[in-house]
Amino acid sequence: MINSNGHSTQTRSKNNIPNEFELEYVNEEHVKAFFKALSEDPESDQTEHIAAVTDFMPIRQRVKKKKRIPGEFEGYSYHIVRYPLIFIIFSIILFEVLFYILIRQIVNFWEYFYQWRGISRILREVMRNTNNYEEWIEAAKQLDSYFKYDEWKKEIPFGYYDYNLLKKVNRDLKSLRQEETNENLHKLKNLLQDCVKNNYAGVENTRLYSHSYYGTKNIIEEYVDKVTESLEFARNTKLLSIKDKLELFKNTYKNYGRTALCLSGGASFGYYHLGVVKALFDANLLPTVFTGTSAGGLIAALVCVRTDEELEQVLTSELNTRLTACSDPITTWVPRWWKTGARFDACDWSRKLQWVTRGSLTFMEAYERTGRILNISVISYDPHSPPKVLNYITAPDCIIWSAVIASAAVPGILNPVVLMQKLKDGSIVPYNYGNKWKDGSLRTDIPVQSLHMHFNVKNTIVSQVNPHIHLFFYAPRGSVGRPVTHRRGKGWRGGFLVASIEKFLKLDLSKWLKWIRDLELLPRVADQDWSSIWLQKFEGNITIWPHSSFSDFFYILKDPTRERLESMITSGQRVTWPKLRMISNRLRIERAIQKGREELRRELRRQRYPGVDNQRKGDYRRNNIDELQDYNTSNGDDNDKHLEIEKVTDIGPNSDYSNSLESSSDNISYISSTSDEEYHEGQDDSHKFLLSSNDPHIAN
């Protein structure tokens, strides 16, 4: 907004935060540098580059004849049989896909007209049309009561978890806290180290949450309560030494791991991710680790560069005013596609994305600003190079908007682009010798292995909107918060025979696709092997599949209107609400562990370096490190080796160590980690990522 004096002003919210939709971040110098990097002659130096601006046509008129690449198949039989085999296999695949669609429609009609009748249909419609999570919980409880799933929750025996072991653990966690003695506390410490593990005794088996609409068995809810209470008890007790507490929380962190939210690609289907994020945000259940690919990378970047107050502003339907990537008219993009082989212009996207990423923020700058860890998957233009996951560890100075563009560079839609990195003086230059990158979902839509390696992620929440695999999500035994109604949850969706046919068709389709891939029968279109788009791992520990419609395909490369975006956000929220109870149970324990590690680190600093604790946010980030080292050297205490603790990743934006790097195997001393932690000291009282076990959003 411009005032009468000609100065730029912004409308501010009640929290004195500028209106996000009125802010502008475009840096034309950075756009020019990006354009220059894209247009550089790939043969101007000795560095190996791609030899085409587009996947479909070369840069120059004169095209040298390709040399035979070593390793290409030779022999007459391969070239004679290859295309007839492809024709036969694709004919089988087409028949099986059509038969699969028929099976799915039969199940849909049977469920709609036979299973959901009378009171059950009325209750389901009430649940489907709820406007917030609290209303959904009430509707879900009514359905649980109607189908008598409440009785199932009270029953302890069940075939998908070790209920005998869990009963003993719950009993001991309670009894060991009744009398606070050294013996009991050490037993409690050992018990917590044993029982606080990922999917301990099968308590995180999705089958335990797919037999009711809300919650799970009471004994599992009791386990979560007892564990969080015991961790808090161990953290606050005076009878355990700092060494014992550090050992406890370090081991439980490694064993239990952390949760990541993974947002898939899917073009304009990706706007359903906004509803998933909003549902988690409203319930205060957003993880601190995010990964996104293509459209998912756009939404992940939008979230990870903004604080909670700023997110509250942008997670609305008004966001459609900033989602204008497809705004070019047909008279503009058709000539562009004919000339360059791509519908969209990367430089135009770089301007529009700078609002999404709040300017040219890097992965490290975004992490320091919000404490959220952003990961974006890209693959090199070279077909033999492995995929790369960009984050504040692997590419700290890489500019986020260039990574988002690269992650959306699907051949024919957007040409491969150069990643950019920011220098200390604020200028930007090509990253990694100017090599070009494209859409990571072509090979790794959900980079689970990288997340585990860098950030100890052992639990993934996947929001999956890829249109080419949406059809094949069926869940014959129900999914989290969506039990099968057949035989009151004890049957198969559509009956056993139909479910077995559905499973057979999916496995047979996968078999043919793997055969095509392994025999390398599929031609390389646009110099890209497309077989991986069907054969990746598309699911996580919890998978959220927003309900899309056939009409969505007509808008797959169009910007959303305000009404359409509102509908997509609402749809994303409603399919996320059934998963929140399982997510909250997991995060309650995660956050109890994280809070313990944070408070112990603060206490350790207060004991060893009392002068540092009085430092507040300001210019102290680096200026006391020499003093701390001199203090440590002058004391020369060799008995403090037990105080060496693992350097961990973030606890949140206001944590004491949210700038430190992850180390999954090596322990480093406190003195070496202090230098990167001082910046956030003094902000922990306002910490919003660390919720106690009685937080109202989690306790619901």
Which residues are 459's β-sheet partners?
A: 259
Q: What is the largest CA-CA distance in the chain?
A: 85
- Tell whether the model's pLDDT for residue 363 goes beyond 90: yes
- Tell whether the model's pLDDT for residue 579 goes beyond 50: yes
Collapsed DSSP state (helix, strand, coil) of residue 292: strand
Q: What is the pLDDT at residue 108? A: 84
Q: What is the pLDDT at residue 440? A: 66
User: Could you tell me what percent of the chain has a pLDDT over 90?
Assistant: 45
CATH number of the CATH domain containing 578:
3.40.1090
- Tell whether the model's pLDDT for residue 663 goes beyond 90: no
The more confidently predicted of residues 580 and 267 is 580
Residue at 365 is within a domain: yes
* Residues 30-89 pLDDT 10s: 999 999 888 875 545 544 444 454 544 444 444 444 444 444 555 688 888 888 999 999
Q: What is the pLDDT at residue 693? A: 36
Using pLDDT thresholds of 50, 70 and 90, give the confidence band for residue 202: very high
Query: 82-86, long-range: CB within 8 Å, 24+ apart, which pairs?
Result: 82/521, 85/519, 85/521, 86/516, 86/521, 86/522
How far apart are the C-alpha atoms of 264 and 270, rounded to whole Å?
7
Residue at 397 is within a domain: yes
CA atoms in the 13 A half-sphere facing the CB of 552: 22
Quick one: average pLDDT of 645-650? Answer: 38
Q: What is the pLDDT at residue 443? A: 76
- Tell whether the model's pLDDT for residue 618 goes beyond 60: no
Quick one: average pLDDT of 143-148? Answer: 90
Poorest-pLDDT segment among 33-42, 185-194, 352-361: 33-42
- Tell whether the model's pLDDT for residue 232 goes beyond 60: yes
Residue at 608 is within a domain: no
Poorest-pLDDT segment among 336-340, 589-593, 621-625: 621-625
Residue 581 CB partners (closer than 8 Å, separation 6+): 209, 214, 215, 216, 481
Q: What is the pLDDT at residue 489? A: 67
How far apart are the C-alpha atoms of 312 and 687, rounded to whole Å?
17
- Tell whether the model's pLDDT for residue 532 goes beyond 50: yes
Using pLDDT thresholds of 50, 70 and 90, give the confidence band for residue 17: confident
Using pLDDT thresholds of 50, 70 and 90, give the confidence band for residue 689: very low
Quick one: average pLDDT of 225-240? Answer: 93
- Tell whether the model's pLDDT for residue 273 goes beyond 50: yes
User: Could you tell me what percent of the chain has a pLDDT over 70?
Assistant: 78
Q: What is the pLDDT at residue 612? A: 55
Quick one: average pLDDT of 435-453? Answer: 82
The more confidently predicted of residues 595 and 60 is 595
Catalytic residues: 294, 439
- Tell whether the model's pLDDT for residue 620 goes beyond 70: no
Q: What is the pLDDT at residue 664? A: 32
* Residues 498-530 pLDDT 10s: 889 999 999 999 999 888 888 888 877 666 667
Residue at 280 is within a domain: yes
How far apart are the C-alpha atoms of 358 and 148, rounded to whole Å?
50
Quick one: average pLDDT of 401-426? Answer: 90
Residue at 282 is within a domain: yes
Q: What is the pLDDT at residue 422? A: 93
Q: What is the pLDDT at residue 328? A: 84
Task: Tell me the one-letter amino acid at 3.
Answer: N
Poorest-pLDDT segment among 2-16, 261-275, 282-296, 407-421: 2-16
- Tell whether the model's pLDDT for residue 99 goes beyond 90: yes
Number of domains the chain contains:
1
Gyration radius of the chain over CA positions: 27
Q: What is the pLDDT at residue 72? A: 56
Q: What is the pLDDT at residue 642? A: 37
Exposure of 382 by Cβ count < 10 A (0-12 exposed, 13-18 middle, 19+ buried)?
A: middle
Residue at 401 is within a domain: yes
| CA dihedral angle for residue 257, residue 263, residue 264, residue 267, rounded to 10 degrees | -170
Q: What is the pLDDT at residue 97? A: 92
Using pLDDT thresholds of 50, 70 and 90, give the confidence band for residue 611: low
Range of the domain at 330: 90-116+257-593
Residue at 622 is within a domain: no
Q: What is the pLDDT at residue 288? A: 94
Quick one: average pLDDT of 635-648? Answer: 38
Residue at 329 is within a domain: yes
Using pLDDT thresholds of 50, 70 and 90, give the confidence band for residue 539: confident
**201 with 165: CB under 8 angstroms?**
yes
Quick one: average pLDDT of 168-194? Answer: 92
Using pLDDT thresholds of 50, 70 and 90, give the confidence band for residue 326: confident
Using pLDDT thresholds of 50, 70 and 90, give the confidence band for residue 660: very low
Q: What is the pLDDT at residue 130? A: 92
How far apart are the C-alpha atoms of 38 and 114, rounded to whole Å?
59
* Residues 287-319 pLDDT 10s: 999 999 988 999 999 999 999 999 999 999 999
CA atoms in the 13 A half-sphere facing the CB of 499: 13
Using pLDDT thresholds of 50, 70 and 90, give the confidence band for residue 552: confident
Using pLDDT thresholds of 50, 70 and 90, give the confidence band for residue 479: confident
Quick one: average pLDDT of 415-442? Answer: 86
Q: What is the pLDDT at residue 74? A: 59
Q: What is the pLDDT at residue 73? A: 57
The pLDDT mean for the chain works out to 80
Which residues are 373's β-sheet partners?
A: 289
- Tell whether the model's pLDDT for residue 634 goes beyond 70: no
Residue 419 CB partners (closer than 8 Å, separation 6+): 378, 390, 395, 398, 399, 402, 403, 406, 430, 431, 432, 435, 437
